[in-house]
Chain A
Amino acid sequence: MAGYDDYTNGYHDASSSGPRINIRDHNEKTIDFVLSNTTLSLANSLRRTMLAEIPTLAIDLVEIETNTSVLADEFLAHRMGLLPLSTRGVEETLYTRDCDCDEFCDNCSAILRLHVANRTLDQNLKVFARDLVVERIDGSAVHDPRPRNDAGLVLDQNELPPRAFPIIMDPAGEGPLICKLRKGQEIRLRCIVKKGIAKEHAKWAPTAAIGFEYDPHNKLRHTTLWYEGDDAKAEWPESKNRDWEEPEQEGQRFDYNAEPDQFFINLEGTGVMHPDQVFHAGISTLQLKLGQVIQQLQGLTVEGKEIGGGAAGGDGAFTPPAEPMAVDMGGGTAYGSGTAYGGGGRTPGYGQTTAYGGTTPAYGGGGGAGGQGTAYGGQTPAYGAGSGSAYGAGMGGATPYGQRPGY
């Protein structure tokens, strides 16, 4: 079987078959690696899966109670949808469509509240992602176990925040800017976070970009370079990957059977999960897809009829094979066994009740703005009838625009 070598017991070194990885560079957001000894189709399918099909969390519904800012409700809702949120515990989170609740619940969603008003400040007050407060459906706040000091959160970029907490990566600890408020302006909204994939809306993408190159010398002629002078080579910048492969020899005959076998991949995440988790999640998503096909086909006869009137079928039950050998590198993958992600009881995201404490340090942080008081401009029920209304977060997103589950 390809990729699994009995002789080496599945363990691959340079001489064995199976895909090879060479990590060239990495930081908290990006991994640059060379994938080799595999096919273009597998490398490309993995790339496509990592871009579009890994489940993550994003704001999907925004209920606007008050918005007297200069941004229209829809505009604000769209911005909210694009905020990167921690995917920690996303495996334990259900899709709302699979959940047995009526609308949404703690098992399939998280709530982020935002209430900021500029009452006294003559300058504009900036509203940041750090001002969001994470709560449960019943309104109780979710405890943030991360350490704080006088300046705010003490951020550790090696560890993801609890589930659905905004990702904050800037040194100032503010997170993305949501909007600005002039004196007298206020926003008060409730956001519903849901699990989804980027095929539905790009806000669910765990990747910002994936660089993908092979055959930097174009020896395979998969590319035709445009040129205006006499020499294409003189007009095109050379790839930084050129040093990793031998250039074409003068007078060398074209090999019609040659196939690409080395892929230079630059995987850049958005911060919602670590880049190595993106890689693992991409693999397991693709395995799950293949598993569904196996399961479905095994329920059919050779003629294509269903065996025993559709005994098989159903999806999701497939599990990737158990690791055929022990990785002696300590404690398995990021997935599953209690490392970084989800796994071992380190996800205080939901379930446990911890009081958030009387003062809400998350908001009003911007100097003199805080306070729960009354809304400036009275109760401005944003849009539509009744008490506020729901907006889809994210343009053309998954979402009800004014309660409507259309798009």
Chain B
Amino acid sequence: MANDIVYEGDMPRQAKKRSGELPFGHASYHAGYSTVKDPRTGPNIGPQNLDIDTVPDRYELYLLGEGEKKVTFEQETRVPHAALFTFNKEDHTLGNLLRDKLSRSEHVLFAAYQVPHPLFAVFKLRVQTDGEIAPKDAVIQACNELVQELQSLDQEFTKEWELKKIADTANA
């Protein structure tokens, strides 16, 4: 194999291109038929579906995979009233929002989240309560409070916006 390679400057190259083989250096990219199914366009068909598998599909950031759940959790065995939640296809937008809301609850002793790896659209949330309320219910309550808070923000904005428009027409 080493005999086949001619070095030109920094770039190792194959001396003779044998048909059906990729040039040296391209070999690490698996060029072949895509095995990835695009949920928007249906299955791939035909040889035009040449794909480089090293690039993750962007929709994997927000679309749940087959059978994947938005959120699962496991109770912690060593600590009472503690659970570790795994959120799929979510990021800091939800992670930090929930963490902050939970840490303001009187029954929550501990709330923290992490994104274990930036290339995977997953975050983990650990919640420990005082036992008055289960960690699961603390998260549900946090979500409900946030939905309400956003709802009142929506109304506040509408009110201010309409007032602004009335003021504008009065000035015009």
Which positions in A face B, CB cutoff 8 Å? 1-4, 10, 12, 18-23, 26, 33, 35, 38-42, 44-46, 48-49, 52-53, 95-97, 102-103, 194, 197, 199-201, 276, 279-280, 283-284, 286-287, 289-294, 296-298, 300, 302-304, 313, 315, 320-321, 323-325, 327, 329-330, 332-333, 384, 396, 398, 400, 402-407
Contacts and interface: CB of A to CB of B under 8 A. Distances in A.
Most buried by B among A291, A292, A325: A292
Most buried by B among A44, A290, A313, A407: A290
Contact of A321 (B38, B104, B147, B164): B147
B136 interface: yes
Contacts, number: 221
Nearest to B74: A304
Contact of B97 (A12, A42, A403): A42
Interface in B87-128: 87, 90, 92-94, 96-101, 104
B96 A44 contact: yes
Nearest to A332: B158
A173 B93 CA distance: 38
Contacts of A303: 75
B140 A297 contact: yes
Contact of B51 (A41, A327, A333, A404): A404
Contacts of A384: 48
Nearest to B70: A296
Nearest to A20: B156
Nearest to A406: B51
B70 A293 contact: yes
A313 B71 CA distance: 10
Given A22-B160, A404-B49, A406-B51, A2 B145 contact: yes
Contacts of A297: 71, 73, 136, 139-140, 143
Interface stretch (B4-12, B16-24, B54-62): B54-62
Contacts of A44: 96
A46 B101 CA distance: 14
15 contacts: A3-B153, A20-B156, A53-B62, A283-B153, A289-B93, A291-B143, A293-B87, A304-B74, A304-B136, A329-B159, A384-B48, A404-B34, A405-B49, A406-B36, A407-B55
B41 interface: yes
B34 A405 contact: yes
B61 A407 contact: no
B44 A404 contact: yes
B147 A287 contact: yes
A290 B136 contact: no
B149 A2 contact: yes
Most buried by A among B57, B69, B92, B151: B151
Given A276-B161, A300-B73, A315-B70, A10 B152 contact: yes
A103 B148 contact: no
A333 B162 CA distance: 9
A379 B107 CA distance: 72
B15 interface: no
B116 to A, nearest CB: 19
Given A103-B42, A304-B136, A405-B44, A38 B96 contact: no
A398 B148 contact: no
A18 B159 contact: no
A201 B59 CA distance: 9
Interface string B124-141: 000000000010110110
A320 B146 CA distance: 11
A200 B39 CA distance: 13
A45 B96 contact: yes
B163 interface: yes
Contacts of A39: 100-101
A42 B164 CA distance: 24
A323 B136 contact: no
B42 A313 contact: no
Contacts of B49: 403-406
A19 B161 CA distance: 14
A323 B100 CA distance: 25
Contact of A293 (B58, B94, B154): B94
A300 B161 contact: no
Nearest to A26: B164
A283 B70 contact: no
Given A194-B40, A403-B49, A21 B58 contact: no
B151 A321 contact: yes
Which 7 pairs of residues, A with B, have the shortest CB-CB distance?
Answer: A3-B149, A405-B38, A41-B100, A329-B162, A406-B51, A97-B39, A45-B97
